[in-house]
A and B are shown apart, each in its own frame.
Chain A
Amino acid sequence: MILEASLIDQLKDKKTQETAFRELVGLYKEKLYWHIRRIVINHHDADDVLQNTFIKVFKNIKNFKGESALYSWMYRIATNESISFLNTKAKKSGISNSELQIKMVQSLESDVYFEGDEIVLKLQKAIATLPEKQRIVFNMKYFEELKYEEISEILETSIGALKASYHHAAKKIEEYLKTN
């Protein structure tokens, strides 16, 4: 926490901000990348969103009030950037967000940055059928192994609601894997 406070101070100081920012990027680039990748599916899209996330963090660090942990704040920016990216992509393609999810998962079969077998592909298809919130909560809990308290701070949702979302999502995925 002391380290984080000191890093925030350095990020706000013009003289030290570039070094501090490089340190921040080094610390969080992989975690945030995988968080974004699970939402946007495609590597190139994930790269774009990750870069935009860090640029947004850098531009807005002066407004960061420290009401939440720095990583929660960055995760929140990454989540919002990913969702906005998907909304724009769906709008440009003239399709709904759920149609876009199906389309994105279908394109995984020919994606050079995907090496999943049949069962993994089926899992991605199952995840794509979930509503947006359940999909994000499931990924954060199941793959990123974040605690409910952490997810609650990032998504600004109650722990009870998160548990319900995760439970519904896991049940739907199980059901999908059994029946397909």
Chain B
Amino acid sequence: MNKGDLHKKDDFKVPEKYFEGFENRLFEKIHDLEHSIPKKEGFKVPEKYFESFEENLFRKYNTPETSKVIRLKKYKSYYYIVTGIAASLVLFLMIRFFTPTDQLNFATLEHEEIENYLYANESSLNAYDIVQEFNDMELKEISLTDEILEEDDELIDYLNENTNAYDELIEDN
């Protein structure tokens, strides 16, 4: 690259001999900085510290660590307090969020809610439980949702596809 290409003509100027004296000025500044901040730190070490360091290190390394004994009793009361606070908090939240504002009874429940409940918990209910639950309800009032009917259809389809005549005979008997 031609040296002349470094500086294409524009309107900027630098003071005379600016670049010739640049290094000196820079080093002066660095020198000033080094002198404005002291190089001494003032730290010292005990006498013969480094000479005896290895011995101390190996003594420490070879000493088996004694496991700390945690005194349970000291923490017992602390755990009781924490558990007590946590239990109170849970109880408060349960009362706050699970206590209904209006008195609820069985009659106020929507049929669909009951159905959904039974659907979700059917494995834990037997026929007797269901009769008990629907004791004061007319059968005609109970309507099955489409979802359950759909599942019934699926069940019938499944049985049609997966049972053979022999099975049916047994079932019939």
Contact of B41 among A33, A58, A124, A174 (CB under 8 A): A124
Question: Is there a chain A Cβ closer than 8 Å to B50's Cβ?
Answer: yes
CB-nearest residue of chain B to A22: B54
Residues of chain B within 8 A (CB-CB) of A54 are 57
| Measured CA separation A37–B46 after assembly (Å) | 13
| Measured CA separation A108–B60 after assembly (Å) | 27
Residues of chain A within 8 A (CB-CB) of B56 are 51
Given the interface pairs A29-B50, A33-B50, A113-B46, the reply to whether A143 lies near B41 with Cβ below 8 Å is yes
Question: Is there a chain A Cβ closer than 8 Å to B169's Cβ?
Answer: no
Q: How large is the interface on B (under 10, 10 to 19, 20 to 34, 35 or more residues)?
A: 20 to 34
Contact B43 A25 (CB under 8 A): no
Question: Is there a chain A Cβ closer than 8 Å to B68's Cβ?
Answer: no
Given the interface pairs A113-B46, A174-B33, the reply to whether A38 lies near B54 with Cβ below 8 Å is no
| Measured CA separation A121–B54 after assembly (Å) | 31
> How many residues of A are in contact with the other chain, CB < 8 A?
33
Residue-by-residue, is B28-41 near A (CB-CB < 8 Å gives 1, otherwise 0)?
Answer: 00000100111111
Residues of chain B within 8 A (CB-CB) of A124 are 41-42
Main secondary structure on A side of the interface with B:
helix
Given the interface pairs A174-B33, A174-B36, A177-B36, the reply to whether A120 lies near B54 with Cβ below 8 Å is no
Residues of chain A within 8 A (CB-CB) of B40 are 116, 120
CB-nearest residue of chain B to A171: B33
Pick 27 A–B contacts, CB within 8 A, sort by A: A25-B54, A25-B57, A26-B54, A33-B50, A34-B43, A37-B43, A38-B41, A43-B45, A50-B53, A51-B56, A54-B57, A55-B60, A58-B61, A113-B44, A113-B46, A114-B42, A114-B43, A115-B44, A117-B42, A119-B38, A120-B38, A120-B40, A120-B42, A123-B38, A142-B37, A174-B33, A174-B36
